[in-house]
Amino acid sequence: MSRAPLLILRPEPGASMTAKRAFDEGWKPIVSPIFRIEPVAWEAPPAGDYDALFATSANAVRQAGKAATRYAAMPAYAVGDATARALKAAGFTDIRTGRGDAAVMLDAAAENGVTRALHLAGEDYRDVGHDAISIDRRIVYRSAALERLSEKALTALRDSGATVLLHSGRAAEQFAKLCDGARVSRRHVRIAALAPAVLAAAGPGWRGSIAATKPDDAALLAAAARLCQ
Q: Which CATH architecture has domain 38-144?
A: 3-Layer(aba) Sandwich (3.40)
Longest dimension (CA), the chain: 56
Identify residue 30 by its one-letter amino acid code. Answer: I
- Intrachain domains 5-34+146-228 and 38-144 with the same fold: yes
The pLDDT value given to residue 3: 66
Domain ranges of the chain: 5-34+146-228, 38-144
CB atoms inside a 10 Å sphere around CB 92: 22
Provide the whole-model pTM.
Answer: 0.75
- Provide the 10 A C-beta neighbour count for residue 39: 13
Topology at the third CATH level for domain 5-34+146-228: Rossmann fold (3.40.50)
pLDDT at 229: 84
The mean pLDDT values, 10 residues at a time, for the chain of 229 residues are 81 89 95 94 96 94 95 95 93 90 91 97 84 96 93 90 92 96 94 95 96 92 94
